[in-house]
Each structure stands twice: as C-alpha cells, then as structure tokens.
Chain A
C-alpha cells in the first residue's frame, strides 16, 4: 500500500471520528426528537463510510457486506422513527 493511500486513510478516519463525536453531541442533547433521529441516521452513515475505508485498508470485502446492509436498511429505522414522530404510529 502506498504511503499516500495509508496517509489518506488515517486522515479520513480521523475526520469521520470528529464528525461522529459531533453527531454524538446532537444525539445526546437533542433538543428535539427530530434532531436525535437525524443524528442517528448520520451515525449510521458514518459507520458505513468507516467500513468502506476499513475495507480498503484491510483489502477485505467482508466490510463491504456490512456497508451494503447499512446502506440498504439504515434509512428504514430512521425513517420509521420519522414516521412515528409525524403520525404517532409507525404502521397504519
């Protein structure tokens, strides 16, 4: 692996770490439920990106599977929560 690539990976992961901590602040403090749901969605998004980066670092496609699942379904839980906030029930 070239030094450029490994350096880039470290830098990217650091950025995601900072972003995740910021998101965590929103997730814990709120203040509205909408903020927290959105924060959770972002946290999932970060997790997916971290996995892809880790996949590049370890040259393994196992990470890709998990990233695929998050990409497909993380929006389901956060939008179910959004539906719950909007309508008071998740399935009508």
Chain B
C-alpha cells in the first residue's frame, strides 16, 4: 500500500460508514476500527524505513507549472504522529462502540471520525506547506462536525462554532505565514524549507512569518490567549474528546512547532513568543484545572496546561528541550486518552461527571478505578510512570537553562509550581472519586463496564507503565527516530532512565508531589466547608464572553457595511444593474461602433406585422398592469407568449415553438400559484404624487426605453450582419452522418452537446429540490394566510342551483365535475402526444423536453380541477424519484459508451425492421432523451406541487410585530 493509498484509506472508510445503516453500531464500529487498524499496521510496517533518519517521499504532480505538487513525506517525527493518530484512533473506535447509545445515529459519528483521522494523517504526511494548510483546515472543519455531533444540544452547537471560529482564524494566519515562508525560500516544498533555516532567520520578513505561523499553532493547540475554546469543546461525545484532545486536533499545533523547529527556532522572537505563551498556559491551565468539578473539564484544562508545557519546551531553543517536548507529546497522548476514556466510563456508568457527587467508586468499579489511578499518576508525574520521565526532563532543562537571570530563577520556580498544581488536580480526578464513602444518590447504580470497553484503557495504561519502568528499551529507539528530524538530524546526549541520581530535578519532583498532596488536603478541607468551589480571580476573565462580544461587534459592523453598499429594494437594484449594463455597452460602443450589416433583408408581410402589433400591445399592457392588476398582467403575458411562439414557427423553428407553447401553460399556472400568496396591492388615493416621484418615474422610463432600444438595436445589428464564422454549418453537415438524426436541434441536445445537457438537467433537478426544500419553511405574509375572499363570502347577486356553492371539499365530484372529467380524459391523450414527441424527436421536431412538459401539464390539470387531495389520493407521482431515475438513465447511457470503448456520451443508432411496425430507428440517444424527459416531468411537478401544497398546509402566522403588540 503506497502512502497515498494509506492517506485515502480513512476517507474511503468514511464514505463507506456514511452509507451503512445508521444504527448498526457493531458493524459500523467494526468497519471503522478495521480501517484504523489496517492503517495502523501499515504505519508500523514503515518503521524500518525511517528508523535511521530515513525519509519516504511520494509525489504526484498536479499543477507543475505553478510548482503545486501533491507531496507526501514521512520522516521519523511524522511516523510517530501517524502511529499515535491511527493506534489511538483504532482504540477509540472500539471504545465508542460501547460508549455511544443505541439511539445515536452512529454512522455519522464514524464517518466524521474517519474523515478526521484522514485529515490528521494528511497534516502529518504533507511534504508541501500549502498542502499542510489545506489538511489543517480540513481538521478544523471536521472537528466542528464532531464537536457538534449532538447538535440538538445548544452547548454542542456553540462549542463547535467557537472551536471552528478560533481554529479557522488561526488557519488563516497560518496560511499567511506559510505564504511568507514560501516567498522567502522560493518554494513550498518541506525539504527545501527545512534546508534553508539560516536564510529564513536572517530575512527581514522573519518576524512576520513567525508570528503568523505561531498564531496558527497556538490557536490549534488552545494556548493562552486562545485557550478558551477547548473546555467548550467538551460538549462533544467523550470518544471525540479522547481522540481530539489527546492525540490529534490540539496536537496539530505542537506538531507544526516541532516540524518547523529546525527552521524557525533559535532566535529571541521564538523564545519569548513561545515561552511566554507556553509558560502562562502551563500555569493558568493547571491552576484552573484544580477548581473544576466536572471530570471532563478537569481533563480539558489539564490538556491545555500540558500543551503549554510542550510549547514551552519547544520554545526554550535547546535541542534537549525539543527532545523532551517530543517525548511529552507521546506520553501525554497515552495517559490523556486513557483518562478521557475513564471519565467517559464513569459518566456512562454513574450518570454524572460531578466530582462532588462521585465518591468511593473503587468498591463498585475496581478495574476502572485502578486504571484511572495509574493514568492520573502518569499525569501528575509520579515515578515509574511515563509522565514522570518527560517532566523530569523538563525540570532538568528548567534548572540548567542559561538565559536572562530572571528567567534562570523564575523558570524552575514556575515549573515546580505547575508540578504542584498538576498533582492537586490529578488527586482530585484519581483519588477523590474512587476513595472515601461510596456515594448513594447517583443517577445510576455504578458497576463495571463491559470488558471490551475497558480494553483500550488497559492497553494505554500498560503502555504508560512499560514506558515508565523500562524507558530505554521500550520507547528509546522510537523517541530517537521521532526526535532526530525535529532537532535537525543531530540528536543531543540524553539518557532515558528512571534514576538519574540525586539532583535538582529529583528534588523538584519530590517537592511537587509533597506540595501537591498537602495542597490537595488543604483545598479539600476548604471545599468541604463550602469555599473555593469556583476558580478564584480567573473567573472574571471569561474568554467566552470576550469571544461572543467580539462576534457581535463583527456582525454589527458587517451589517452596517452591507447597509452602506447595498439595498433591499428591487427598484434600486434594478436601476444599478441596468444602468451599469448600459454604461458598459456605451463604453464598448466607443471601441466597436454599432453599424448595420448588409445581409439581405426579408420583406415584411402584413400578417407578420399584425402579429407583432398584437404581441407588442400585450407586452406593453402587461408592463402597465403589473403594479396593481397582477392577474390582468398575467393574462396579457399569455398573449405576448403566444405571439412569441408563433414567431418561432414563422421563422421555421418548430422545436422552439412547441417548447414555448407548453412552457407558456406551465408559466401561467406557476404565476397563478404564486399570486395566491402575494398580498393584494391597492392604489392608495390619499397618497399624492410628489414632484420627486415624477422625476424618479421619468428617470426610470428613460432608462427602460434606453435599455430596450439598445437591445433591439444590438439584435438588429447582429441579425443583419453576415456570419462567416458561424458554427451552424458544422452541425447542419454532421447531424445526420455522425449523430444519426435529421433534427439538428435535437441531435445537438442529445449528442453533440449532450454533456451540456446532462449538466443542465442536473441543475434542473437541483433547483427543483431546492425549491421544494425552501417551500417547506414558507411563511406567507399575515394578510394572505386566510382563505381567499372568494371562498369566504358569496356575493349577493350570484344565482346558483348548487347545494353548497362555496363549500370546500372534494371538487372532482362537485361543481368542477365537468372540467374535471374532461381533464381526466385528456390524460391518456397527453401520454400519446408525449410518446409521439419523444419517439420521433431525433428526426423531427420534438424531444424529451417537450414531451416531459406535456406529461407534467396533463398531471397538473388534474390538480387544478380535482384538487390536490383527490389527485394525490389516486396517483402516487413521487417527483423526486422521477428526477433520480432520469439522471441515472442519462448518466448510464453516457457511461454505456465508455463501457464499449468510446468517449462519454457517444451515441449509436440502430436500424432494424420489426413485423407490423416496419423500419425502426433507435438511437442510443433515445435513452438519454428519456432521462431528460423524466427529469423534466419530475422537476416541473415537484416545483408546482410544492407551491400547491401550501394551500392545504396549516400555516403558523408570522411572529407578531412588536409595535402592534405594544399598542
């Protein structure tokens, strides 16, 4: 399996899980787990190639002229990350099988989960900086979907939005930084960039690139001052938290810092930026974590704090510290993933995550308790566990650092203090909930979870222990392979051992543990007496509030800007559009003057002039009536449409004429359906026409006349010029020999330009579905919600012999019986006409489009005369299915040509003779046209019936106006 296949595997798995039945928990978990496990096995098998500093590269050239290649590059560090991503991913898949409830749509969960894994692999495998940013953004987007998985919870939605906004903004900064880096180096290729560290550090733009890249990394890793999104992201299901906040999402930030360490580090800028952010995050996160009462929030702030530690380590500008940072990335991923899973198990089994309510769980869940205890020991930095080793390396770095005197004194103090805090919150997590008197008021009776749910936790905890006890033989080679690329190839001297002799680091560790235990006891006694239940001091600095007020301000500014440059009034918009169009046309006319051509003119016949007089009178009348008499305008438009159809026929365009005729009918029904919901617009006699109105109307009239005359002049100029470069002869010559049909228009639609047609019918289907979806939420204006006036009052002068002339109900048997019967008789007749047009469309006027409209009109007629309920009670039309079948048919016909070795959509015509029928002309384009037919029927019916359904739907009145409510 190549690297590309490995990268695509999770995405393929994501697609597969998305189409599996959504409640099939076991099948889905097995599928996702298998994908993750195969990926993990493949990653493991790469180890020999990267063990001694080797680098695997794969390149697919994409846009070579722009220097854009898809490059995958795996060195030891990327390999270590890929291992974490895939192995912990597989464990989380297993865990999630038992964690997710049977009511959750888990297909969506696993689909997003695998997509996230793929995006994360893309980040670590990228051998091109721009490509890395693309995958980086992808992780932001997919994490948004994962955090908002339970989208019916407002917390989940808000948390997801906040995470996306912060990390997305950071991604933008990173893109900027990467572009600056590429500008400095002249290439985006990671190898080239890694090889030009000195050039970058001495460049004038170095601070710009550094700040932008660091902002990207800090937002992703939830570092101060961008740390506030991570606790909010705890609204995600626990498996998501266990994955995103241990091995993947937040680690992407420190991954980037480590990746670019050989290039960007070694300067004062780097030191102050990263040490400042890292140290304050380390201390702040640990401090806040001590006072949290929610298990997951303790872990969230502890994650922030540990990532601060890693950032700090990378910021120290010392190769040894960088190695410690890489080591801590691995250690933190193992113990934090197991702790999140343990927290999830406690939540799952007891129904609460509140530390104050949970007590003495060791008695009912001994295995979970033991595992959680060991893992929190690793988090606290207890000897013989992996967390101790990397923390000890950090302490050593803090003591032996040579820098500014205040830093030399301050850093060891800060490190010890953070160690004390870590011990306190680890005790609160591990000790407080499992020891003491068992609590009795839990929502559920606690017991051990299923064995398989504990397996992932066990594996991770065993890893913590093994690394902690025998580091040099278990993790040593891996760490060496992973850290070598980070420090630029030459590993510093270091010893992985539990016992380093008695020195300052050990004293600091012991101080931290003793201080932590004392601090914990002190904090517990205070909390028992009701004090210190909230974070002191820092509670006031609420990142969320700052973030939200920022969003509100941004929205307000955007709205103001929108108001400045745009208008909601149709008149103003039309004025701008048409005005600009005229201006552009006039500008163009300066270059290419408008002159008539010398093509031979046809003499005008009396009949045609009369026809056009009728059409023009209708069109002008429709424009005049459009404001206050919409129905009249619709009627007059019908007249104009008829004249258009006749004109087409006159000038030998029968295909167009046929289409225009049926389109007219559908349009009229569509307008009438829409008119039902438009509020009545009446002339208000009390409103005087002011001078300003007159000026505006005069201006608009001038504009309208100008635009119309301009268009007419353009058409005339175009029609009178000879067209030597015309494409028509091409189609006229080849329609029969190459397309197999004599109707050139149809052959163009289904053969020469079938690709366009397939695009058009796809758009048509999409539009129909959109209209349908939008109308589901349609709220009519208040004045048109009620029944139309005609159905409410019976005029006094009506003479009728009907029993209930205005009663609603079934119309097919009532007063509409005569037209309804005629309409029903029309139905089979229309089918014959449609079949006629469809079948001979290839050689004579007609085709799938006209035929589809004919059938749609025939059905719509039933709706008009017999009512929606009657029509739908007797015919199950299912328009979306027509659309689907049509698109499938058209696409399959096209692919059929591919199957026999011709380009997509090549058509073939068969001639054979049938008894009784005679010679049959059957082009394969016929099936394509059948697809067009089905799509047209489905789309027309879907749009018009969606509108028609509004009449039988119960409408909620719009929200009452505040002003009327007050009065």
Contact = CB atoms under 8 A, between A and B. Distances in A.
A24 interface: yes
Interface string A30-57: 1001001101100110010011000000
A59 interface: no
B867 A92 contact: yes
Nearest to B822: A75
A79 B819 contact: yes
A32 to B, nearest CB: 10
B618 A27 contact: yes
Contacts of B657: 66
5 contacts: A24-B639, A43-B639, A50-B646, A89-B672, A91-B945
Given A28-B621, A40-B635, A72-B829, A81 B668 contact: yes
B610 A20 contact: yes
B926 interface: no
B676 A66 contact: no
Contacts of A66: 645, 649, 654, 657-658, 661
Interface string B617-637: 110010000000001101110
A87 B371 CA distance: 75
A92 B654 contact: no
A80 interface: yes
Contacts of A15: none
B857 A88 contact: no
A88 B808 contact: no
A11 interface: no
A69 interface: yes
B675 interface: yes
Contacts of B833: 68-69, 72
A6 B860 CA distance: 41
B533 interface: no
Interface string B811-835: 1000010010000001001100100
Nearest to A50: B646
Interface of A: 13, 17, 20-21, 24, 27-28, 30, 33, 36-37, 39-40, 43-44, 47, 50-51, 62-63, 65-66, 68-70, 72-74, 76-77, 79-81, 83-92
B638 A40 contact: yes
A80 B632 CA distance: 13
Residues of B contacting A: mostly: helix
B10 interface: no
B388 interface: no
A72 B654 contact: no
A20 B40 CA distance: 81
B354 interface: no
Nearest 5 interchain pairs by C-beta? A88-B788, A91-B948, A77-B668, A88-B790, A90-B672
Given A17-B607, A65-B658, A66-B654, A88 B791 contact: yes
Contacts of B861: 76
B811 A37 contact: no
Nearest to B787: A88
Given A20-B610, A40-B639, A87-B788, A76 B632 contact: no
A73 B661 contact: yes
A24 to B, nearest CB: 5
Contact of A91 (B661, B673, B826, B857): B673
B165 interface: no
Contacts of A92: 808, 811, 867-868, 951-952
Given A17-B610, A88-B787, A65 B868 contact: no
Residue of B665, B833, B857 ringed by the most chain A CB atoms within 10 A: B665
Contacts of B672: 80-81, 84, 89-90
Contact of A27 (B639, B658, B819, B948): B639
A14 to B, nearest CB: 9
B669 to A, nearest CB: 5
Nearest to A32: B632
B865 interface: yes
A69 B668 contact: no
A45 B617 CA distance: 19
Contacts of A77: 638, 664-665, 668-669
Nearest to A25: B617
Given A76-B864, A90-B672, A91-B864, A27 B635 contact: yes
